[in-house]
Amino acid sequence: MKAISHTEYGSPDVLKLSVTDKPIPDNKEVLIRVYATTVNRTDCAMLSATPFIMRFFTGLLRPKNTISGTDFAGIVEAVGKDVTTLRIGERVFGFDDSGISSHAEFMTLSEDKAIAGIPDNITFEQAAASIEGAHYAFNMINKVALKSGQKVLVNGASGAIGSSAVQLLSYYGARITAVCNTKNIELVKSLGAERVIDFTKEEFIAASNEKYQFIFDTVGKSSFTKCKPLLNSGGVYISSEPGSMVQNPVLALLTPLAGNKKVVFPIPFNIKKSVLLIKKLFEEGKFQAVIDRTYPLEDIAEAYRYVMTGQKTGSVVIRIGSGNPRV
Ligand SMILES: NC(=O)c1ccc[n+]([C@@H]2O[C@H](COP(=O)([O-])OP(=O)(O)OC[C@H]3O[C@@H](n4cnc5c(N)ncnc54)[C@H](OP(=O)(O)O)[C@@H]3O)[C@@H](O)[C@H]2O)c1
């Protein structure tokens, strides 16, 4: 099978298109023919091994998992003898932030991992584009006690996490002010934002004349100190990044002890719950894929370079193989 591999950490230049053996599923695993995957910010962090602490999980000197990829959409081709919940021919999608070698024509995954059926109305590309960002967005929302009608500000609403956060917050009944660039204002409104601040024209802290119960910085470009005046009493600041001085995890421990505004740091967990939520929202027509660009597997290095600019809108999809049954 064709696969994208790297035996050292570095820039997209270290990626190689290789031909290797198809993996063989063990008793609890399924073999999946991958039709679509993405290059996301998790993949970029794994490729370059930044922050350095990642190496304790991905391999200290070189990657343990030489085939890249963290998410997928495809068809079950074979099942191990103890698999009970998935069957051959089923359309499935899933994600694992520890790496599952999905930048390849075939991959294996345990049925116990974050994998679920793709609803009929959703294509492989839409499914693959709706997992990584949605998982981290759900993980942020899951960490706070959001009530319908509360005001929330989402900074970075055009990214993978941000565009998912707007949709999920809207689903839960929040009143959303979104911060994004000029070209994505209409998109972000269509996803559920009540009000949009264009960060290329005005800085949201100065532009915002409202107070919020929650501020979700989904691109990690602000700070608790600067956002604090925009929070209601009892309000919460939550960022997808640890912060320039790694202050957010520390503030998450300290701020609940003093004052009435606090920081929550969203350590990700329970990916299966996120995948099942997205499946349910797809079925209810309450979640849509936001796809910036699609590249063939052969051009994946270009996709990485684009994602690394930090300027994508939603997700960047990789299409695998030709003559896909349904893109
Ligand atoms: N905590 C975790 O486990 C975890 C996991 C994955 C990712 N992350 C981090 O979370 C962040 C977001 O990930 P993502 O995949 O959603 O990012 P992304 O899709 O790459 O986000 C790109 C978008 O953010 C917008 N943006 C850039 N700077 C902005 C600013 N100052 N204000 C508002 N919007 C801005 C960009 O708009 P323009 O094109 O106009 O610049 C672009 O549309 C990244 O920093 C990533 O490293 C954390």
Structure confidence by residue, pLDDT tens digits, 269-318: 899 999 999 999 999 999 999 999 999 999 999 999 999 999 999 999 99
**Beta-sheet pairing, 231-239 with 262-264:** parallel
Q: What average pLDDT is seen over the chain?
A: 96
Q: Which pLDDT band, with edges at 50, 70 and 90, does 178 fall under?
A: very high
Nearest-atom index, ligand 1, CA of 132: 6
pLDDT(8) > 80: yes
Would you say the CB of residue 179 lies under 6 angstroms from ligand 1? yes
Mutate to test the pocket of ligand 1, among 240, 248, 309 (most ligand atoms within 8 A of CB): 240
d(CA 168, CA 173): 9
Ligand 1 atom 38, closest CA = 311
Q: Which amino acid is at 96?
A: D
Would you say the CB of residue 80 lies under 6 angstroms from ligand 1? no
d(CA 316, CA 69): 13
Closest-CA residue to 185 (of 168, 166, 205) = 166
Nearest-atom index, ligand 1, CA of 311: 39
Q: Which pLDDT band, with edges at 50, 70 and 90, does 324 fall under?
A: low
d(CA 126, CA 137): 17
pLDDT(327) > 90: no
Task: Kindly state the percentage of the chain with pLDDT values over 90.
Answer: 94
Q: Which pLDDT band, with edges at 50, 70 and 90, does 40 fall under?
A: very high
pLDDT at residue 239, rounded to an integer: 97
Q: What is the pLDDT of residues 81-102, one digit of tens each?
A: 999 999 999 999 999 999 999 9
pLDDT(145) > 90: yes
Q: How far is CA 61 from CA 12, 49, 222, in A?
A: 17, 10, 33
pLDDT at residue 321, rounded to an integer: 83
Answer whether 0.85 is exceeded by the pTM: yes
Helix (H) or strand (E) holding 154: strand 151-155
Nearest-atom index, ligand 1, CA of 314: 19
Q: What is the pLDDT of residues 246-261, one digit of tens each?
A: 999 999 999 999 889 9
Q: Kindly report the CA angle at 297 between 293 and 299, in degrees rounded to 5? A: 70
CA of 218 to the centre of ligand 1 (A): 6
Would you say the CB of residue 219 lies under 6 angstroms from ligand 1? yes
CA of 159 to the centre of ligand 1 (A): 5
Would you say the CB of residue 222 lies under 6 angstroms from ligand 1? no
Would you say the CB of residue 243 lies under 6 angstroms from ligand 1? no
d(CA 39, CA 302): 10
d(CA 266, CA 144): 10
Nearest-atom index, ligand 1, CA of 181: 40
The mean per-residue pLDDT over the stretch 200-219 comes to 95
Peptide bond into 12 cis (omega under 30): no
Ligand 1 atom 33, closest CA = 156
Mutate to test the pocket of ligand 1, among 40, 41, 142, 163 (most ligand atoms within 8 A of CB): 41
pLDDT at residue 323, rounded to an integer: 60
| Residue 224 near residue 248, CB atoms below 8 Å | yes
Ligand 1 atom 34, closest CA = 156
pLDDT(326) > 80: no
pLDDT(57) > 80: yes
pLDDT at residue 325, rounded to an integer: 61
pLDDT(118) > 80: yes
E strand spans, 184-302? 195-198, 212-217, 231-239, 262-264, 291-296
Nearest-atom index, ligand 1, CA of 315: 19
Ligand 1 atom 40, closest CA = 181
The mean per-residue pLDDT over the stretch 161-186 comes to 98
Would you say the CB of residue 178 lies under 6 angstroms from ligand 1? no
